[in-house]
Amino acid sequence: MYFFDPHIHMAARTTDDFETMAKAGCVVVGEPAFWMGYDRSGVDSFRDYFRQLTEWEPQRAANHGIRHYCWMGINAKEAENVEFAREVIALLPEFLTRPSVLGIGEIGLHKNTPNEVTTLLELIELGMKTDEQLLFHTPHLEDKYLGTRMILDILRADSRIDRTRVCVDHCEEHTIRPVLDEGYWAGITLYPTSKATPQRAADMVEIYGAERILVNSSADWGPSDPMAVPALMFEMRRRGHAESLIQQLVYDNPLKFFSQSRNFQFTPPE
């Protein structure tokens, strides 16, 4: 079965990972801009990173038959310095028109601070002006529920938001219901040290169904697994779920969500 990994940080992964994923059936990856494990020292570091996501990574993926798409933004961990964040935001319009860019992401909250909220509001404003899809990062661990509620409150207050074009990612058992209830796509991240295991993700699908759920590995430079989506597929099969349900989760849903982007061009394999 073919699958998408709609949230994975391939800039932090080796070429061998592309090959392994391709052999397992991966046909599309989505790579949000994120924190690279260290704070960048200047806006030119972001410019080079955005060039990497839009110029180099698509070719590296294509060498293994995988289509690479990305999201442009400033991650919540680097959003605290508002003036610096504004310099990065000023770069985004020149990259949002590039052919592999799906929208603005991953943006959101990290420690739920006022400065993070200021940066987030300015990123959303840019997204509304340029009619972008939005991908949100929700905080880790003890900050997750409050941060998720804050993001949902911000979105609810903006009547311009098309909820079918927004994914609120890294949902867990205590945050997935409000995201789905308010009409957004809910991302479930399969991550070994936080977020959700394949077993917990399968539990959530059994409780809430597969509608508007995107499963992803978010594999990056830390402990993570670029084969996490196939691991969920195996867990769903082990539990006796229909292949049609598994395909909806790992292929049909991300295809439907990505297809709302003006830049998404994809011919499904035979």
The pLDDT tens digits of the residues spanning 143-199 come to 999 999 999 999 999 999 999 999 999 999 999 999 999 999 999 999 987 889 999
**Looking at residue 193, what is its pLDDT?**
79
CATH number of the domain bearing residue 233: 3.20.20.140
Domain count, the chain: 1
Q: How confident is the model at residue 54 (pLDDT cuts 50, 70, 90)?
A: very high
Domain assignment present for 269? no
Q: Smallest Cα–Cα separation from 85: which of 93, 75, 95?
A: 75
Distance CA(95)–CA(224), nearest Å, equals 28
Q: Smallest Cα–Cα separation from 165: which of 141, 116, 114, 130?
A: 130
Distance CA(180)–CA(209), nearest Å, equals 10
Domain assignment present for 41? yes
C-alpha distances out from residue 110 to 6, 43, 66, 261, Å: 21, 20, 31, 26
Helix (H, G, I), strand (E, B) or coil at 189: strand
- Compute the average pLDDT of residues 39-56: 96
What residues make up the domain containing 169?
3-258
Domain assignment present for 263? no
Query: Which residues make Cβ contacts (< 8 Å) with residue 247, sequence separation at least 6?
Result: 1
C-alpha distances out from residue 86 to 45, 49, 210, Å: 14, 16, 37
Amino acid in position 241:
H
Q: Smallest Cα–Cα separation from 57: which of 32, 76, 75?
A: 32
What's the distance, CA 248 to chain centroid? Answer: 17
Amino acid in position 77:
K
What are the backbone angles phi and psi of residue 188, rounded to the nearest 5°?
-115, 120
Q: Cβ distance 144 to 172 under 8 Å? A: yes
Domain assignment present for 210? yes
Domain assignment present for 265? no
| Overall pTM surpassing 0.85 (yes/no) | yes
Query: Which residues make Cβ contacts (< 8 Å) with residue 140, sequence separation at least 6?
Result: 170, 194, 195
- pLDDT tens sequence across 223-247: 999 999 999 999 999 999 999 999 9
Distance CA(37)–CA(34), nearest Å, equals 9
Distance CA(8)–CA(266), nearest Å, equals 18
Say if residue 252 is exposed, middle or buried (CB neighbours under 10 Å; 0-12, 13-18, 19+): middle
Domain assignment present for 188? yes
Domain assignment present for 185? yes
Domain assignment present for 7? yes
